[in-house]
Amino acid sequence: MGVERAPDRVATRSPAPASFAEFYRTEYTRTLHFAWLLTHSAAASEDLTQEAFTAVFRRFDELDSQVAYLRRVLVNLSSSWRRNEFSLRRRMLRLREEPSETPVPDPHLVSAVQRLPHRQRVVIVARYWADWSEAEIASALGCRPGTVKSLASRALGQLRQEVGHHDR
């Protein structure tokens, strides 16, 4: 009687988890570590891990292998993240290389703009920094040009009041 050899390759498919909560508990740490190894960013790895689990959650009951799908989604998300990071770094390097023609804005004005409600801030930044038209701003905000005018008027009034008080 000879000694049996173990097969060269053993299928390691684990049984399907009974619930998403069980799957999440089982796979979260391993997935987070994998994401960190792909991104070397704690924040990005947490975001990508959550996005991947969200994608699995949406299709959990219809998937043959939740783990395989989770891994595929995470790899795709990390690829997109990497492309975005690369693009952002390239843009930042170009900005550093180009001499700035724009004067440094008044820090009081910058902080006043930061305190504006989001839609008003979008209007002010898009109009006066990015030089967008009212139609372009309206399209980006999903509103009518008249709403853009109203938001701009309120934002400019608040900025005049805040910056005006500072100048005195």
Query: What does the pLDDT read at residue 52?
Result: 96
Would you state the CATH architecture of domain 107-167? Orthogonal Bundle (1.10)
Structure tokens belonging to residue 111: 């902080």
Average pLDDT value for residue range 137-144 = 88
Check whether 5 has a pLDDT greater than 80. Answer: no
CA distance 146 to 46: 40
pLDDT in tens, 58-72: 999 999 989 899 998
CA distance 84 to 76: 12
Rg value, the chain, Cα:
26
- What percentage of residues in the chain have a pLDDT greater than 90? 33
CA distance 166 to 105: 15
Query: What does the pLDDT read at residue 121?
Result: 86
**DSSP secondary structure code for residue 105 in this structure:** P
Q: What's this model's pTM, rounded to 2 decimal places?
A: 0.47
Are 81 and 48 a contacting pair, CB within 8 Å?
yes
Are 145 and 132 a contacting pair, CB within 8 Å?
no
Query: What does the pLDDT read at residue 157?
Result: 93
In the chain, where the domains are located: 20-97, 107-167
pLDDT band at 89 (very low <50, low <70, confident <90, very high): confident
CA distance 129 to 121: 11
Query: What does the pLDDT read at residue 151?
Result: 94
pLDDT in tens, 100-123: 555 556 778 888 888 888 888 888
Q: Which residues contact 138 (CB under 8 A, 6 or more apart)?
A: 144, 145, 147, 148
